[in-house]
Amino acid sequence: MRVSYNWLKEYVELDISPQELAHKLTMAGIEVDSVEYLGEGIDNVVIGQIIDVVDHPNADKLVICKVDIGTDVLQIVTGAPNVVKDGKVAVAIIGCHLPNGVKIKKAKLRGEVSQGMMCSAQELGLDPKNFSEEQQTGIIIFQNDAAVVGDDVKKTLGLDNYVLELGLTPNRADCMSMVNVAKEIAALTGGEFRLPSMAIEETEGQSVSRLADVQIVEEDLCHRYVARVIRNISIGPSPLWMQQHLKASGVRPINNVVDVTNFIMMELGQPLHAFDYDKLADNRIVVRKSVQGEKITTIDEEERELDKDTLVIADAEKAVAIAGVMGGFDSEVTEETTNILLESAYFQGESIRRTAKKVGLRSESSARFEKGIDKAQSAAAADRAAQLIAELGGGQVAPGVIDVYPKPWEQPVITMRSERVNKLLGTSISCDDMKVLLRRLWMEVEEVETGVLKAKVPSYRNDLTSEIDLVEEIARLYGYGNIDTTMPKGEPSAEPITPEEILKTKVTKGLISCGLNEMISYSFISPKAMDKLLVTEGHPWRTYVEIQNPLTEEQGVMRTSLLPGLLETAAKNFKRRQLNLQFFEIGRVFLLSEDRLPDERVKIGAIVSGEQFNGWVQKSTPLDFFHLKGIVESLLQQLDVEDVEFKAAAVPEDYPSLHPGRAAEVILSGECIGYIGEVHPQALSNVGLQQRATVMELDGRLLLEHVNLVPSYVNLPKFPVVSRDLAIVVEDAVSADAIDELIREVGGELLKGITLFDVYKGTQISEGYRSLAYSMTYQALDRTLTDDEVSQLHDKIQDSLLEKFRAKVR
């Protein structure tokens, strides 16, 4: 809502600056987004009158004008097509800076001196659409009586004014009215409020009830319909003062009738509609729902087909307006119009909101109806508008008014306990002071018993319906800043930190300490992302939760895996020439479920690609499968998980995005909780990542079942450790895991640790074989192991390996 400071002054005494006013309103909950000075940048532009026009001797398209600016007569050369002798114009005199950055200097144009410039709307930084067509292509020519030679143009154009742009919250739609804003200001500043005159002068003649007929079919959707008829008017421009008020409010002046309806809408917040009375079949108004497929051409000249539920205003034959949203083209007021039927109605907000949404039209009118207007004011607004139309159009208001009012407004009365107000706010405001505050807000207040007030709510404050609403009004006027600052009393919450939270923290810290960078990607993905990742039809990753109204197709479905985001991030960074990539993300994926809500599962995902630079001391190491596997292993170890296995997938088709020979399921105590693997080369190339990458994704909920978040302390060993190495040569087909398992099985309790420290294939080993070198540590908890004991056990391990895997000692 744009509020003109000058216009406001007609309704309320204002002795503070626009900026101070803005602050006061903002601190009272009517947020002022901006304060704009309309004449910004327009200085040294005055009204002049063209007293002579002669052709330019050296240029066909230029003329030389003599312009009287009161203090002087200037010679100005111009090419404007619409210069006319005696015309009053806006003259930018020498030294003037225009809003578009032009500086006016004394100049010669084709040999003739020019001492200034006659301005167009654009040159003054004004919207040309507010001016006549002729003036849109040329300079502004003022109506003779509308401008005084020598005056500052800002005064003439009403630009010596400020506009406060209100960012209204939905509950304060009443402030989409100058009068209601003025009332609010009066409550805040104590300034005197002045209501505009609502007096109406009816003429003799046929009464309105014989001229027209109004019927409301949908009483639930139209609670009141007031009609007046104004006759014998002539359509023309509205007066300058009205145009200036409208322009400042951002409304384009059209003609005296439409301008009055808009003016009253801005002033009182009551949207009005003026029909060309003679174009209403049977002079009838019927407020009804549209029939399926009914058509109406609205004043924007667009034909619209309606469904069966749109509230329309119809005459005896057809719909002539979409109620509260937009009028019809056929019954629109035109230059030929002489008789007007004026509508001032109350349409139910939700219905208007739905209609406006449905037909895709949001007008100043619908914006007001949607949020609820002043129901008690329809007749007064009609009176004031009818009177203004008659005055400005030289017509007569037909006697009488049609006021169909099936759902009369009942003034709400709210009971408020002063003790409760203080209890909620933490204040000690006296009941008398509360009375004063409520009365300032135009409520009738009565103390019905000690400390209990009954307040009658004014008709425009639809937002006030219960005691708590008045508590807020008291707090607002008392000032939030004046309420004492305290800390909550009472007991602290006793809820422990959840295992989910602990796990998330531990995993996050663990992955960060492994060198991964945390990333956050959008929860929605493109369904095409799964094509790129080679995910086959029917794969569970393809059963998405779909968004009905996504912003783009790229964000059409909820992710079922973190993989698309991880790969996209890696590829994006790669394109920025970041080659060494290590990312992780902890976030939810969304799986369709039988329940009303999808299954949201926290996943832990990571991607590594490129190599890790280790500085000059050591060579770089590849960020490959084993790097990420090492991270997963360390993480699981830190989480005290026992029984970890990495196994090739039982059903490789479950992981179509992964390299089939370099992928594994992560299995904890027999349960698969996720996967790790190199990305399939085809998928890599599809996403534009031109180097190998390894990914992993673990399920948070499954992981939680296998971790031990509160480790219990085990006594430190008191007896020494003995180390022995063992190198064997086995066939490639024998997995490291199998060897490890056998060593552990034979080693039993005394074997404390195994480290694989070398894997070798090469000249000294036969083709198809590899050498694995282990370092084993032995320790007993209750004694120092003897050399013999260790040797015996170590040999036993070695023998079993030789036997079971046909291994050779190297």
Partner 1 sequence: MRDKLQEIKATALDELSKAVNLDQLESLRIKYFGKKGELTQVLRGMGKLSPEERPLIGQLANQIRDQIEEQLQVKRQDLEKVVQTKRLEEERIDITLPGRDFNLGTRHPLYQILDEIIDIFRGLGFSVVEGPEIELDYYNFEALNLPKDHPARDMQDSFYITEEVLLRTHTSPVQIRTMERKNSQLPIRIIAPGKVYRRDDDATHSPMFHQVEGLLVDKHVTFGDLKGTLLTFARQIFGQDRKIRLRPSYFPFTEPSAEVDVSCINCGGSGCRVCSHTGWLEILGSGLVHPRVLEMAGYDPEEVSGFAFGMGVERITMLKYGIDDLRLLFDNDLRFLQQF
Residues 507-526 that bind partner 1 (CB under 8 A): 508, 511-524
Task: State how far the Cα of 583 lies from the Cα of 566, in Å rounded to an integer.
Answer: 7
CB neighbours (10 Å) of residue 418? 21
The answer to the question of residue 361 lying near partner 1 (CB under 8 A) is: no
Residue 444 or 546: the one with the smaller Cβ distance to partner 1 is 546
Residue 81 or 426: the one with the smaller Cβ distance to partner 1 is 426
Which of 209, 555, 775, 791: binder of partner 1 (CB under 8 A)? 555
Task: State how far the Cα of 736 lies from the Cα of 177, in Å rounded to an integer.
Answer: 81
For 229, 278, 372, 528, the CA distances from 323, given in Å and listed in that order, are 19, 19, 14, 44
Which of 226, 471, 664, 722: binder of partner 1 (CB under 8 A)? 471
Residue 236 or 515: the one with the smaller Cβ distance to partner 1 is 515
Which of 103, 316, 439, 480: binder of partner 1 (CB under 8 A)? 480
The structure tokens listed for 477 are 């006027």
Smallest separation, CB 16 to partner 1 (Å):
18
Collapsed DSSP state (helix, strand, coil) of residue 507: helix
Smallest separation, CB 522 to partner 1 (Å):
5
- β 581-591/517-518 pair status: parallel
Q: How many residues does the chain have?
A: 810
- Beta-sheet strands, E only, within 389-443: 396-397, 402-404, 413-417
The answer to the question of residue 757 lying near partner 1 (CB under 8 A) is: no
For 314, 634, 638, 745, 747, the CA distances from 751, given in Å and listed in that order, are 94, 20, 21, 9, 5
Residues 427-456 that bind partner 1 (CB under 8 A): 427
Q: Are 562 and 589 in contact (CB under 8 A)?
A: yes
Residue 28 or 773: the one with the smaller Cβ distance to partner 1 is 28
The answer to the question of residue 75 lying near partner 1 (CB under 8 A) is: no
Q: Compute how many residues bind partner 1; rule: CB under 8 A.
A: 94
Which of 301, 303, 551, 713: binder of partner 1 (CB under 8 A)? 551
Q: Are 319 and 306 in contact (CB under 8 A)?
A: yes
Smallest separation, CB 564 to partner 1 (Å):
13
The answer to the question of residue 424 lying near partner 1 (CB under 8 A) is: yes
The answer to the question of residue 498 lying near partner 1 (CB under 8 A) is: yes
Q: Tell me which DSSP letter residue 490 carries.
A: S
Task: State how far the Cα of 254 lies from the Cα of 334, in Å rounded to an integer.
Answer: 10
Task: State how far the Cα of 334 lies from the Cα of 311, in Å rounded to an integer.
Answer: 25
Residue 5 or 524: the one with the smaller Cβ distance to partner 1 is 524
Q: Are 329 and 298 in contact (CB under 8 A)?
A: yes
Residue 597 or 714: the one with the smaller Cβ distance to partner 1 is 597
Q: Are 72 and 53 in contact (CB under 8 A)?
A: no
The answer to the question of residue 682 lying near partner 1 (CB under 8 A) is: no
For 246, 315, 687, the CA distances from 790, given in Å and listed in that order, are 100, 107, 54
Residue 575 or 796: the one with the smaller Cβ distance to partner 1 is 575
The structure tokens listed for 593 are 């479920």
Residue 27 or 94: the one with the smaller Cβ distance to partner 1 is 27
Which of 272, 319, 326, 425: binder of partner 1 (CB under 8 A)? 425
The answer to the question of residue 547 lying near partner 1 (CB under 8 A) is: yes
Which of 197, 486, 715, 764: binder of partner 1 (CB under 8 A)? 486
x-or-dash pattern for partner 1, window 144-173, by CB under 8 A? -------------------------xxxxx
Task: State how far the Cα of 22 lies from the Cα of 166, in Å rounded to an integer.
Answer: 9
Smallest separation, CB 324 to partner 1 (Å):
14
Residue 28 or 742: the one with the smaller Cβ distance to partner 1 is 28
C-alpha torsion sign, points 727, 732, 737, 742: negative
Q: Tell me which DSSP letter residue 584 carries.
A: E
Task: Residue 198: name the closest of 374, 377, 380, 12 by CA.
Answer: 380
Give the range of 284-292, 300-308, 373-381, 580-588 binding partner 1 by CB under 8 A.
580-588
CB neighbours (10 Å) of residue 109? 16
Instruction: Please name the residue ranges forming H helices in 128-248.
Output: 133-137, 153-156, 178-189, 208-211, 240-248
Smallest separation, CB 516 to partner 1 (Å):
4
Residue 490 or 661: the one with the smaller Cβ distance to partner 1 is 490
Smallest separation, CB 500 to partner 1 (Å):
8
The answer to the question of residue 403 lying near partner 1 (CB under 8 A) is: no
Give the range of 65-73, 117-125, 333-341, 345-353 binding partner 1 by CB under 8 A.
345-353
Smallest separation, CB 659 to partner 1 (Å):
24
CB neighbours (10 Å) of residue 78? 24
Smallest separation, CB 707 to partner 1 (Å):
19
**Residue 683: partners with Cβ closer than 8 Å, 6 or more residues away:** 532, 533, 534, 567, 657
The answer to the question of residue 490 lying near partner 1 (CB under 8 A) is: yes
The answer to the question of residue 207 lying near partner 1 (CB under 8 A) is: no
Q: Tell me which DSSP letter residue 174 carries.
A: G
Q: Are 470 and 461 in contact (CB under 8 A)?
A: no
Residues 20-39 that bind partner 1 (CB under 8 A): 26-29, 31
Task: State how far the Cα of 283 lies from the Cα of 281, in Å rounded to an integer.
Answer: 5
Beta pairing partners, 724: 776
Smallest separation, CB 233 to partner 1 (Å):
36
Helix or strand (DSSP H, E) at 425: helix 418-425
Smallest separation, CB 688 to partner 1 (Å):
15
Buried b (16+ CB within 10 A) or exposed e, 323-340: bbbbbbbbbbbeeebebb
Spatial strand order in the sheet of 413-417? 413-417, 452-456, 444-449
For 303, 336, 476, the CA distances from 292, given in Å and listed in that order, are 15, 33, 48
Give the range of 58-66, 88-96, 314-322, 497-505 binding partner 1 by CB under 8 A.
497-505
**Residue 786: partners with Cβ closer than 8 Å, 6 or more residues away:** none
Which of 331, 569, 609, 657: binder of partner 1 (CB under 8 A)? 569
N-to-C CA span, the chain: 88
- β 599-609/693-699 pair status: antiparallel
Smallest separation, CB 545 to partner 1 (Å):
6
Which of 282, 317, 350, 737: binder of partner 1 (CB under 8 A)? 350
The answer to the question of residue 614 lying near partner 1 (CB under 8 A) is: yes
Task: Residue 221: name the closest of 280, 296, 309 by CA.
Answer: 309
The structure tokens listed for 549 are 């109204």
Smallest separation, CB 695 to partner 1 (Å):
15
The answer to the question of residue 360 lying near partner 1 (CB under 8 A) is: no
Reduced 3-state DSSP string for 76-116: EEECCCCCCCCCEEEEEECCCECCCCCECCCEEECCEEECE
Residue 567 or 776: the one with the smaller Cβ distance to partner 1 is 567
x-or-dash pattern for partner 1, window 172-201, by CB under 8 A? xx----------------------------
Which of 206, 466, 723, 766: binder of partner 1 (CB under 8 A)? 466
Residue 618 or 715: the one with the smaller Cβ distance to partner 1 is 618
Which of 154, 228, 245, 353: binder of partner 1 (CB under 8 A)? 353
The answer to the question of residue 781 lying near partner 1 (CB under 8 A) is: no
The answer to the question of residue 40 lying near partner 1 (CB under 8 A) is: no
Smallest separation, CB 304 to partner 1 (Å):
21
The answer to the question of residue 371 lying near partner 1 (CB under 8 A) is: yes
Which of 407, 476, 701, 724: binder of partner 1 (CB under 8 A)? 476
The answer to the question of residue 545 lying near partner 1 (CB under 8 A) is: yes
The answer to the question of residue 489 lying near partner 1 (CB under 8 A) is: yes
Residue 562 or 751: the one with the smaller Cβ distance to partner 1 is 562
Residues 91-130 that bind partner 1 (CB under 8 A): none
